[in-house]
Amino acid sequence: MEQEQLKEKIIALLPEAEFNVNKQYLDINVPSDKMHAFVKLLKESDDLKLDYLFCLSGVDWKTHFTIVYHLTSTFFGHSLVLKVKTTGRENPEVASVADIYATAEFHEREVYDLMGIKFSDHPDLRRLFLDETFIEGFPLRKDYKDEINIIER
């Protein structure tokens, strides 16, 4: 499916979606409250069928975080990038999509572990790579300081 067609369909599904500039994929911002329902719709709608979440990442933008979902359809081959902004840096929270994409469960755990973004309704939100007893913040945040292990260049 061409990006233009995809764009039209997305607008039909979610009128408030903002489109970002991205040469590679169709890239949209989704309001965090609509996020879960929208993703469910994307997966289940017959002409989109975005059934494969191949990447889920968190980006620290210093004022807020974005969660980036890379979705693709194994039926039609089109891809889509969703972005969800969190409100502020303190206690960021986004709805979990683990019930829609099973793989998201551990990608979200990773994001929680390294960035400290909470995913509501996540089945098992624990630290993944780091020890359970690791409490000194979240390493992948830009303001993370560790005098011993990080050498500033």
Partner 1 sequence: MSEEKKVIVELNENPEYIINMGPQHPSTHGVLRFEVSLQGEMVKHLIPHCGYVHRGIEKMCESLTYPQVIHLTDRLDYLSAHMNNEAVSLCVENALEIEVPERVKYIRSILSELNRIASHQLWWSAFGMDLGGLTCFFYGLRDREKILDIFEESFGSRLLHSFIVPGGLMHDIHPNFKKGITDFIKYFRKKLPEYNRFLTGNVIFQARTKGLGILSKEDAINYGITGPSGRASGFSCDIRKVEPYSAYPYVDFKEILYNEGDTFYRYVARMDEMVESMNILEQLIDKMPDGNEYTSKMKPVIKLPEGEYYQRVETARGELGVYIVSDGNKTPYRLKLRTPNFSNLFIMNKLASGYKIADLVAISGSLDLVIPDIDR
Q: Of 6, 17, 26, 27, which one interacts with partner 1 (CB under 8 A)?
A: 27
Q: How far is CA 47 from the centre of its chain?
A: 22
Q: Is 92 exposed, middle or buried (0-12, 13-18, 19+ CB in 10 A)?
A: buried
Please, which residue, 34 or 76, has the CB nearer to partner 1? 76
Q: Of 10, 80, 92, 105, which one interacts with partner 1 (CB under 8 A)?
A: 105
Indicate if the alpha-carbon torsion angle 44, 52, 3, 40 is positive or negative: positive
CA distance 151 to 98: 36
Please, which residue, 56 or 95, has the CB nearer to partner 1? 56
Using the contact rule CB under 8 A, the part of the chain among 2-10, 11-19, 29-37, 49-57 near partner 1 is 49-57
The footprint of partner 1 on residues 67-86 (CB under 8 A) is 68, 70, 74, 77, 81
In whole angstroms, how close is the CB of 121 to partner 1 at the nearest point?
17
**Helices 35-44 & 3-13, crossing angle to 10 degrees?**
130
24 near partner 1 (CB under 8 A)? yes
